[in-house]
Structure 1
Amino acid sequence: MPELKALAEFLRKQIDDSRLTMTEVASKVGYSKSQTGLYLAGKLPPEEFVTTLIDVTVREPALHRVRLARGRELFLAARSPSISVGQAGASGPGAELELLRAQQVEVYKELTASQRQVNDLLIAQRNSLQLVVVLTGMIGALSDRVESLTAEREHLLEISADPQVMERMQIRLVRALDQEARAKEELQLAREKQRQAEELAVVAQQRTAELIDELDRLRVGDTGQQHAQLAPTEAAGEPAPADLVGDDFETVLARVMAINETDDRTIRRIADELHDPDEDPPAALVQHPAGRPAVVVPVVLDNRQSDSDQAVAAGTAALIAFLSPASGPLLSGMARLGAMTGRNDSAAQAYAELVDRDTRVWGPDHTRTLKRRQQLVQQLSQSGQMGEAERVAAELVKDLARVHGPGHHSTLSVRRLHAEAVGSLGRTAEASALFADLAADYSRSPGPDHSDTLRMRELHADAVASLGKTAEAAALFADLAADYSRVWGTDNVFTLPVRYKHACLVRETGNPQEAKRLLEKLLPDARRRLKPFDSLALQIAATHDSFHPTNPDDTPNK
């Protein structure tokens, strides 16, 4: 019936405008999710359902009055429609069920296509990552090969080598230069494919979420899709070439070009499928350079240990230096790879790109964006960029405190990073105050005996000692050593260095007798718990032995 359809469309629009999910609406109106779905699909609801749904979805008072009046008007029309006998015979539960099933079938079709698009884009992203790894290593190896061939050619010129030898050398050099240029071209294309696939994946995932929500409304259960797997094409046997190293590079380039061609077709197809003809056309996709050779049958790498195999291994470690904007998940993995391989500057640059990307995709206050910014601070600190780390951390602390609160665990973690960066810049007094505030906040949550709380107190005491306030630092370490011993035990690996610092500070305050007594109690625990040549054990023993052996009242020997 048109009246019921008009009412259902009106109710669904209220939900869409409110940004609430199907589950949230069902919970707020006090009806089950399945019953709510039936009402939104065209079944006549109780009047209470209509008014309650408007109450929870329309917050603005003036608009609420208008929508409530319209909802009641549509409800009354749907409850007492003017229909003929023929219309009545075509209505009823059977007709409603057929309509619902038809809607389910259409949504299922769209959802299946959308999930296939997401899966294809993920495969394209994975392929592009593999290409970047291979090509990065290949470019480095080709650069070395060009340099080696150039030096060999110069040597042949100096010794006036046979012209045929010179000609073969020149052919190999020209071939290597051409391969290097083609590899750089393919690397640029692979990076651009990553960018395109990620942007299209965002659109496809949003569409998938919308379709799943629509299925919820239609009381449809979950569905799943089997992800297609790409089967590699087996390479046919090759005759033994004269330039084995050059042919290895040709093999890799052939495979790279084939994958780039396949991914290009996939991205263009999905871009066309997702494009709304009523909107502006999508951004121009990467065009293959004119004159690029076509690849019909892709080939795969053989098992020979050649320069190209070594290039792939070398490319993994050097990959992070060549990354430009890439997909979020893949770039995240590459940033971690850069950190693991010691390329901290490049890893920090990758995390900075991730922060910019996540800010645009998710928004500045999204949990993912805030986490990325924390990872950036950590990487900046590890790379020694303490000034930038302190600046980024200070801004992040303000945003985390605004979003989560000053005592949230994420805020506390970044406050610690900020305090450590401040201390490393030589602003010890400021760092001491920051650590004191942190220790107080950690004592409230997660608690006074938590390991993080004890660590903040230790960092605060270290900062106080660095300021030359020996007596105050000694008192702080005395309390801290007692708490560490109570919580962790007297010979715990965390307790021993705190007890040693306490003894050293007591000695510096001019109380050698007490310092010696503390060291005599500490030394057996350290020897029992630590290995004989552990650096801390050796320091404790050396400090203990520095006291005059026959007169415990003497000051320690310098």
Structure 2
Amino acid sequence: MGLEAVMPERLRGGRPWGPIRADSAEARQLAEFLREQVDFSGRTLAQLAEQIHVSKSQISVGLAGKVPEPAFVTALIHATIPEPRLRKQRLDRARELLEAAAHPSPANPGPPAASEVELAGLRAQQVETYDRLTHSLEAQNRLHEAAGNSAKLVMVLLSMINRLERRITDLTGERDQLRAAHVDPDALHHTQQQLARAHEQEQRAQWELSRAQEKQRQAEALAATVQAQITQLTDELDRLRTTTGADATENTPAPATTPASTTTDPVGDDFDQALTRITAVNDHGDQLLHGISADLHQEPGEDHDAEFWWVVQNNPPDNPLAIPDTTDNLKAKQEAAEAAGTAGDYRRAVKLYTDLVTAYTHRNGPEHPDTLITRNNLAHWQGEAGDPAGARDALTGLLPAMARVLGPEHPHTLTTGHYLARWRGEAGDPAGAHAALTGLLPDMVRVLGPEHPDTLTARNNLADWHGRTGDPAGAYTAFTRFLPDMVRVLGPEHPDTLTTRNNLAHWQGEAGDPAGAHAALTRLLPDMVRVLGPEHPDTLTTRNNLAHWKKQARGASRVRPRAPLPHAAGIPPMPVSAPLTQGAPLQAPED
């Protein structure tokens, strides 16, 4: 008999059997019939051993060609054929074959014994199956560990979120009391910083919770699939060992046992440290699951690897934004967000920037410069969308992180401070905005230079907040000193220079000189029409203000000018700057 006659056969389900070592053709025919019944049932040898109360080694001997006892044949047929009528037919046939095997015909000798080459081929397949089984058991252990770690993280994060929610409630009450008291601006500012930080930590904890829950689900799904493969490989090894009748579990690796698993805001620091550790555990879980998934379907052309292809393909990501974002994709999303804000669609800009913050946080971490810059821009558009208090709170929490990561005098840090001053004033604290810009301006002059556009903008806005705190004469004086610099640096007809002239006239009138305001606006209006056009919103505002101060100068009844934009002082102060952009990776300034 040739080599192919005794090589393992692929029967039902593609699982192989070892060669039959029968002493007669009748014994071989019986073994083949009994194997067919096992394949028909779909049960593994381990399941059958438990059902008929014999060991797997005894089943292996009974299916390898040795003539079994009648009780074994009867029990095997009963276990594999549940339908009574078919069971009776198969049992009758099995008894006929058993009788023939017990009394073989002398004229019908059995097949020759397998050669050494044939047995070596069988042994090689046993070793390959054993290796796959060992690999699967190791993967299962790692998956159980990952699922256990994620389950622990879920419990920790649920507790943390509960504590953060209580902290937010307490800090909100404390902030409201300090606002009502109007006695301690520094304490109010400190509490607002703590509150913004707690909100940020609560959002980060919710994000890590969703990651942990998804990691647990993925690990459990992979572990269940690996268990199915382990069951199949164990049965395959049992079938291949039927030649010798050895107990298939004697050398099968057993699963390993899973191992048990100076500051002004110390509470916030504790939460940050805990969240950093949690992020590290979640990141480790990501790497582990990715490695196991990639390993399991490394060669999808082979049956045992292809079974895992669906696990990787069908697992949803932690979050829709967890789909890998390329640099080009993120840049395109950022351009779309900025275009929406520039076009006046502030709500869409907020939504797009919210998505970008999540993407950058997941991709680079919460304190990567790109993440911080995106948070800055989100807060800017949040304020433009009508939520100045939300923008203020977000920037209050962001500014310390910008100073820590980039440095307190990095241009981006200075810009964030400028944004914070603006939205602090817009949220109802003009004195706080004035104080913040007063402290910020010297740093901008030193770092950026006195004629840098952002420095000029800060001087314009500082003068405006000076007036809005109740000192119109001081605002008029500041704008009078500021205007020549604008003319020298930008030119007399630059739109920002025209804005400064409008605001100078506004505060001149508010300081008690309506005739002077009227005269200044009379000179300004033709320039506004020529440069901006007659229908431009700033031109219309200037025209309206001119009518107002003309009536004031004549002593007519007061007619308030049309509210131009967020600021009441004629045309609003110039925007801080274009939202920050990301180019080459940002570096913190050297000491």
TM-score, normalised by the number of residues in structure 2: 0.39
TM-score, normalised by the number of residues in structure 1: 0.41
Highest Rg: 1 or 2? 2
